[in-house]
Structure 1
Amino acid sequence: MGKLTDVEIRNWIKAGERFDMRSIGDGLYLRYREADAVPLWRFRYRIGGKQRVMNLGGYGDLSLADARKTAKELRARVALGHDVAAEKQERKAEAVAKMEAGKNALTVAKLSDEYFERMILGRWKHPNIVRSRIEKDIKPSIGKLKVEDVKPSHIDAMLQTIVKRGAPTIANDVLRWARRIFDYGIKRHMLQYNPASAFDLSDAGGREEARERALSGDELVLLFQAMRDAKGFSYENLLAVKLLLLLAVRKGELVGARWAEFNLDQAVWCLPAERTKTEAAIDIPLPVPAVDALRELHRLACGSEWVFPARKVQHRMIPHIHENTLNVALSKVKPLMPGVEPFCVHDFRRTARTHLAALGVDPHIAERCLNHKIKGVEGIYNRHDYFEERRKALELWAKYLESCEKGEGWNVVPFRRSMG
């Protein structure tokens, strides 16, 4: 039997010959029962006066020569007093235990979710802001790591990735929330130290100062021209920027809008409270250019319930474009505006507010155009929403933007008290 060859084994398989145990010699056996898909190598030995059997694998995975070599190595270990079958079972049990431990391990993603559920939801005024930082920045970077495995180097890499994409303010926010999340884990006895504790704002986006950037009329002319000329800057992106300027709304409010919120025939956008920073619903009057832009977007949406539906299959959970889409898109436009100081999407709101003031719009009306709460005693007692006044203000602002889009520009004529 010791001279058995692979040819003989293959002939057994071909003939369908079945057997329980055939000795190959030196403790090596071959089994080929009816229930076996392929012949099975087995190693038999005695240790401590007891007979032991160990499966080595199927013939398809282990040739005759390899099986003999394995059996020889196992005999040597048995001679040294090792119970090789028991050791194999222990290794298998350890591997299974490790896999189970991995499934039950506390990851940063799980810790973040628990922190959000217990410390933010129902307590924080704007929970979606925190949820956004967790889902868009923390989880993609370190979410799969076990909390005890997170090192300061992981935190640094996460922050620098955000800074490099041109979002220093978000990097600061992520650092703040990461520190709070890990502090929560320490309090709950889930980890021993906070890997983000050594970092401050200088390691993230830097100390923040109030922005004062607003685009001038000349810069708006350049912006519209650059958007038309930039390669890879889509028509949908141009309409999005135009709407952000026309309506002075927040980026998240626009990209997350559903068509059900709009009545284009009545030229009004009913923005629900749950999607506003002020947590108060507001009806936004739509000037004619805004209605035209929205009708174009409705055509391009191809039946989607979203004004800006996701443009390709994505692995994230949102059905509309990502908030960062416009930031990336504008990076293709800015090189075509040499000499223009840096600006970001949020600066469009400040641009609208600045020009509304230049156009003579009363401050309280301009503030309501941006959906800002009126401050002081007047804000407490005055519940008038200035809808018609806001409509007139936005119509005048739309005319100014149209002139910029045409590259013409025109002289501002204030109308300070003509709005009633």
Structure 2
Amino acid sequence: MAISDTKLRGLYGKPYSGPAEITDSDGLGVRITPRGVINFQYRYRWQGKQHRMGIGKYPAITLREARNMVSDLKEHLDKGIDPRNAKTHKRLNSKPTVSDCLAYWQETYVNVNLRKKTQALYKSTVVKHMTDVFPGLAAEDIPVRSWVELFTEQEKINQIRARQLLVQMRSAMNWCMRRQYIDNCSVMKISPKDIGVKPSRGETTLSYNQLAKVWLAIERSRASTANKLLHQMLMLYGARNSEIRESVRGEFDKEEMVWLLPANRSKSNRVVRRPIFRQVVPLIEKAITAYGNVLIPGPDLEKPMTIAGANRFMGRISSSLGIGEFTAHDFRRTLATRLSEEGVAPHVIEKMLGHELGGVLTVYNKHDWIEEQRQAYELYAEKIFEHVRMISG
């Protein structure tokens, strides 16, 4: 569908809910944000791979100028030159904006070199919160004071996130500078230690009584069945959120009574084997009966629930109980601590957490202590349910 000046004028600066991208011809297209910010981009194939590069914002660049830029970039492509190495867009455009830099970083580094989970992390933080800052201004021309004021405002919202955004922005701009996409950026002059605070290392562990209160709060909530099952299974297994949230039916072998987490979904890039123990069986069967292949789906019932949706639910549970702040990740530390108190061997607990054992054990010992894990899981679950019964009367 061709782009026209009339269409761009009608979309610019207005709330927008249509397709995120609209194509023109010869690889030219526009990317439109929900706030009506319009970015021209050029799509092309280089060495068998699809690439996209930002070439400027509308209306700083007109549609005619964008088409001329694409024509010049196509000439470079025809000559065997990667358009990203061409300076045409810098001659015709003022200079890359923050939005352009983030798009370039995402396209040439994040989406190429990082794992899907890390890509999603960057998309939900720096890309989401920083793409539309300083619209129309070249990244190279933004003074340090403006960056400081921006991050000072972020500190008022969330101290931890403010530092995280600065660190990620510095990474993005540093990549653009190393790749000669921009010459410099004054955000590099701001030290992360001067903005916000570092996330504190988790120390929260819950007692069996507190775990029982959380269990009952989950049961009595009005959340979806998927959300309830996710957090109850996280509590019993002490697994990482994504390990259960993205699980599928085929990972649970009910004949061998083993949950086999494939290497491509584990943090260690190795297969993780855990037992399917007695108390968790009803939860797994309920998920399979209710949803089928994807055990913990989102609203569309076809894709796994998002981490944001899961975190919002646990945030509501945490704030409603009055037992202090905690997250689903604290269930892992709690399981390890409580089972250590019960005398469970450290190597068994490490396997339950999905950790690799150190030293030569990693190389030579492939034993997973499945039966020992099963006994520990059943002991832990029984302790929780004992307190659930005590509270429920």
Task: Give 1:190-201 correspondences, 5 Å limit.
Answer: 190-194=181-185, 196-197=187-188, 198-201=190-193
CA deviations 1:329-369 (Å, max 9, x no partner) are 1222223312x121111111001111111222111111111
Q: Secondary structure at the match of 2:274?
A: strand
Match of 1:329 in 2: 313
Q: What is the SS of the residue equivalent to 1:306?
A: coil
Matched, 1:187 2:154: no
Q: Secondary structure, in 3 states, of the residue corresponding to 1:406?
A: helix
Could you tell me whether the CA contact under 8 Å between 1:221 and 1:407 is conserved in 2?
Answer: no
What is the letter of the counterpart of residue 102 of structure 2? Answer: V
Count of matched residue pairs: 298
One-letter identity of the residue aligned with 1:278: S
Q: Which residue of 2 aligns with 1:358?
A: 341
How far the C-alpha of 1:155 sits from its partner, in A, is 6.2
Runs of 5+ consecutive residues of structure 2 not aligned to the other structure:
1-58, 71-88, 90-95
SS for the counterpart of 1:283 is: strand
Partner of 2:303: 319
Q: Secondary structure at the match of 2:383?
A: helix
CA distance in 1, matches of 2:225, 2:201: 32
Taking structure 1 as reference, are residues 366 and 101 closer, same or farther at Cα in structure 2, changes over 3 Å only? farther
Relative distance call for 1:354 and 1:369 in structure 2 (3 A) is same
Q: Which of 252, 277, 282 is the matching residue for 1:262?
A: 252
Are residues 220 and 100 of structure 1, via their aligned partners in 2, closer, same or farther at CA, if it must alter by over 3 Å?
A: same
Residue by residue over 1:166-187, the C-alpha shift from the partner in whole angstroms, topping out at 9 and shown as x without a partner, is: xx3x665554333112101012
What is the TM-score of this pair, normalised by structure 1?
A: 0.62
Query: Which protein shows a greater Rg?
Result: 1
Q: Which of 295, 306, 311 is the aligned partner of 1:307?
A: 295
Q: Distance in 2 between matches of 1:362 and 1:199?
A: 43
Q: Distance in 1 between matches of 2:328 and 2:204?
A: 11
Query: Match of 2:124, SS?
Result: helix
Following superposition, the deviation at residue 202 of structure 1 comes to 5.3
Per-residue deviation, 1:235? 3.2
Distance in 2 between the 1:284 and 1:396 partners? 15
Deviation at 1:139, TM superposition (A): 2.6
**CA displacement, residues 137-180 of structure 1 (integer Å, 9 cap, x when unaligned):** 2332334667935762796389559838xxx3x66555433311
Deviations 1:47-94 (A, max 9, x none): xxxxxxxxxxxxxxxxxxxxxxxxxxxxxxxxxxxxxxxxxxxxx9x8
Select which of 142, 146, 157 maps to 2:130.
Answer: 142
* More divergent stretch after superposition (133-142 vs 387-396): 133-142
Map of 1:15 onto structure 2: none
- Determine if the alignment matches structure 1 residue 222 to structure 2 residue 213: yes
Paired with 2:207 and 2:65, the residues of 1 have a C-alpha distance of: 61
Alignment root-mean-square deviation, CA: 3.3
Q: How does 1:127-276 map to 2 (within 5 A)?
A: 127-143=115-131, 148-149=138-139, 152=147, 156=151, 163=158, 168=160, 172-194=163-185, 196-197=187-188, 198-201=190-193, 203-204=195-196, 206-230=197-221, 232-276=222-266
Q: Write the deviation string for residues 274-328 of structure 1: whole angstroms up to 9, x where unpaired.
A: 1111111012111122221011112221x4x311122149xxxx92211122210
Contact 1:221 1:405 in 2 (8 A): yes
Cα deviation per residue 1:17-38 (whole Å; 9 max; x = unaligned)? xxxxxxxxxxxxxxxxxxxxxx
Q: Distance in 2 between matches of 1:131 and 1:319?
A: 17
Give the 5 Å matches for 1:398-413.
398-407=381-390
* 1:221 Cα offset (Å): 2.1
Q: Which residue in the other structure is 1:347 paired with? A: 330
Asked if 1 retains the 8 angstrom alpha-carbon contact of 2:318 and 2:324, the reply is no
- Unaligned residue ranges in structure 1 (runs of 5+): 1-91, 122-126, 410-420
- 1-side partners of 2:369 and 2:224: how far apart? 35
Q: Which residue of 1 aligns with 2:29?
A: none
Q: Please give the alpha-carbon distance, in whole angstroms, between the structure 1 residues aligned to 2:153 and 2:282.
A: 41
Q: Mapping of 1:62-81 within 5 angstroms?
A: none
Distance 2:244 2:262 in 1: 12
What is the deviation of 1:390?
Answer: 1.1
Aligned counterpart, 1:64: none
| Shift in Å, 1:399 | 1.4
In structure 2, distance between residues paired with 1:162 and 1:282: 39
Mapped partners of 1:158, 1:262: distance in 2: 47
Identity of aligned residues (%): 21
CA contact (8 A) 1:247 1:286 kept: no
| TM-score, normalised by the number of residues in structure 2 | 0.66
